[in-house]
A and B are shown apart, each in its own frame.
Chain A
């Protein structure tokens, strides 16, 4: 049953509502008083984030529990999310799974599942969002990609391929949006470098290359305000990746990257 409670306010839809970057971003938006929908798989975690965000925004914060990567019922999930009574103006796509390439190399079903999570389902959600905003007349789609998508590397090209494909997909959507008459849709692809999250706690994070999820969220919000299409976060990764892309193959192949 739709509850028409926020038709006037513009809601943020977060896909991957338990990710650290997503929470940090949603907190920034909540402090502006936005209503929010969080989608994710773990309902206990979503509920914690929901309580936190509800304390910050004076508007409703709803959750929808589902497996975002389940492409078979993705349409059903989209319908459920869009009939919660929110007027969605922004979609923040933050879910993904770094995975263990040694495993996905050995097990093609695991490989398929990782592609489904990191690319296929993500692109499908983005396409749904695009249609929604095209019909509505405007909207913001923000996608968290990765620097791993910039060049195939032996150690994580399974993940990199999915993120690289997602980038091409975003480029395409942005082109389509640019040619759209009457609707203003902005697509932003964010390519973070190393993010300090529990997933990476086993690494030594002494260096300057590590950024907190809060920092990535702040950079992202600024880019959204400025209508940017593609950013590295923080900015210096742009130059690091430029170097990596420019390294001649014979030299690159000597590295263990």
Chain B
């Protein structure tokens, strides 16, 4: 047993870490038996912020050595790869052939298995849905039956439950999905500063045809300018080279920064910089690496928040309640004086992914992602208030970014959780799951 930290550096759980062999499919029963509680959980790059990738007292089975590409048809863009491969590695291979990920989260250092287990979404959600919408087949090994290949046609229920299934339906061996054709690695971008939530909505509407849209917002804006920020929209350019991202990090964050650094002042300053960064009004061109993965340039940027770590909070509020809901959330943050270093607002479209538990189901809405330095009780109280506000507006909080939401919050937002519990592999569990599946009164 050793302590394992998740990305937010708060949830520290003693787990028995077992690393996969390069080749062999794991023997799940033997692996599970090697732990105190007899439970196991697959673990990719550990980029989930809270405890959904941790398993206190149990095994976490580290998959990253199982990173073979099994097949890649450069004509159709269909790729089949083992679940431990990172999206970074897939890009390395696919981009020179003119193919890009159909959907990508804000970091390329996640595994394919992890991306499926959280059914990740990206800046193009309004157009193409979550990753699950692009998956054709996957192979799943369970402790209680033989390995099965699931697709929208065969083993449909298991397929739908595995996509966004938080790693609980078994071990994903490989995934087959369809990439998106690109003619260059560069995107044409437009950054548009705007000054109110209303403007955010009108810009989103106006940009409906743009494949990628997102907004950075300033949590400290005065009430009259609430929601102001920079709206970014982009599309892949049809000219330019098919260059892959650079090999190494530009820098490594060398030490754990004292939390002082991120006091209210620096956060405001940061938001101000984002608000007025040079060229904010200009059209530009950007490589996919700097456009999709700005934080990947700094290895271990999560140490920036100091020893106490930090929380993420991402919520999705249905469209009809979103203006009011986002406004309320921003009010709560402002009142708390615990501004968010990076606050990201995004209009979501209908969900095309079949994932039963997918965060972005049931579809159209607005999501708000926030980071908070951990200041103990005060921060936890703020997060509780945010949760309550999200529920009030019929929204939900994203498990991939959570390490603390209450069982009640989770169960209210994801009433279908009982179906996942019923289909869960009896040997699989996580710290997150044990917490949120508790009986509530």
- B69 interface hit (Cβ, 8 Å): yes
Provide the bound-state CA to CA distance between A49 and B70, in Å: 9
Provide the bound-state CA to CA distance between A133 and B383, in Å: 67
Residue-wise interface mask of A (212-253) relative to B, using a CB-CB cutoff of 8 A (1 in contact, 0 not): 000000000000000000000000000000000000000000
Provide the bound-state CA to CA distance between A13 and B93, in Å: 21
Provide the bound-state CA to CA distance between A55 and B96, in Å: 12
Out of B21, B69, B74, B92, which one reaches A198, CB within 8 Å? B21
Out of B68, B92, B93, which one reaches A48, CB within 8 Å? B68
Provide the bound-state CA to CA distance between A201 and B22, in Å: 12
Out of B22, B23, B69, which one reaches A56, CB within 8 Å? B69
Known: A31-B92, A56-B93. A20 touches B70 (CB 8 A): no
Q: Which of B21, B23, B79 has the most C-beta atoms of chain A within 10 angstroms of its own C-beta?
A: B23
Cross-chain contact B19 with A55 (CB below 8 angstroms): no
Interchain Cβ contacts within 8 Å, total number: 35
Residues of A within 8 A of B96 (CB): 31
Nearest chain-B residue to A51 (Cβ)? B70
Known: A31-B92, A31-B93. A52 touches B19 (CB 8 A): no
Provide the bound-state CA to CA distance between A169 and B50, in Å: 53
Cross-chain contact B23 with A18 (CB below 8 angstroms): yes
Residues of A within 8 A of B (CB): 18, 20, 23, 31, 44-45, 48-49, 51-52, 55-56, 58, 198, 201
Cross-chain contact B21 with A55 (CB below 8 angstroms): no
Residues of B within 8 A of A (CB): 19, 21-23, 65, 68-72, 74, 79, 92-93, 96
Cross-chain contact B23 with A48 (CB below 8 angstroms): yes
Residues of A within 8 A of B68 (CB): 48-49, 51-52
- Write the nearest CB–CB distance from A231 to chain B, whole angstroms: 19
Cross-chain contact A55 with B71 (CB below 8 angstroms): yes
Nearest chain-A residue to B21 (Cβ)? A198
Nearest chain-B residue to A50 (Cβ)? B68
Cross-chain contact A44 with B23 (CB below 8 angstroms): yes
Q: Which of A31, A55, A201 has the most C-beta atoms of chain B within 10 angstroms of its own C-beta?
A: A55
Residues of A within 8 A of B92 (CB): 31
Known: A31-B92, A31-B93, A56-B93. A20 touches B22 (CB 8 A): yes
Q: Is the interface of A mostly helix, strand, loop or mixed?
A: helix
- Write the nearest CB–CB distance from A22 to chain B, whole angstroms: 11
Provide the bound-state CA to CA distance between A51 and B69, in Å: 7
- Write the nearest CB–CB distance from A196 to chain B, whole angstroms: 9
Known: A31-B92, A31-B93. A52 touches B21 (CB 8 A): no
- Write the nearest CB–CB distance from A62 to chain B, whole angstroms: 17
Cross-chain contact A45 with B69 (CB below 8 angstroms): no
- Write the nearest CB–CB distance from A31 to chain B, whole angstroms: 7
Cross-chain contact B69 with A52 (CB below 8 angstroms): yes
Nearest chain-B residue to A49 (Cβ)? B68
Residue pairs across A and B with Cβ atoms less than 8 A apart, 12 shown, are A18-B23, A31-B92, A44-B23, A45-B23, A48-B70, A51-B69, A51-B71, A55-B72, A56-B69, A198-B21, A198-B65, A201-B19
- Write the nearest CB–CB distance from A56 to chain B, whole angstroms: 5
Residues of A within 8 A of B72 (CB): 55
Provide the bound-state CA to CA distance between A56 and B95, in Å: 11
Residues of A within 8 A of B65 (CB): 198
Provide the bound-state CA to CA distance between A88 and B389, in Å: 66
Residues of B within 8 A of A23 (CB): 22
Provide the bound-state CA to CA distance between A8 and B22, in Å: 33
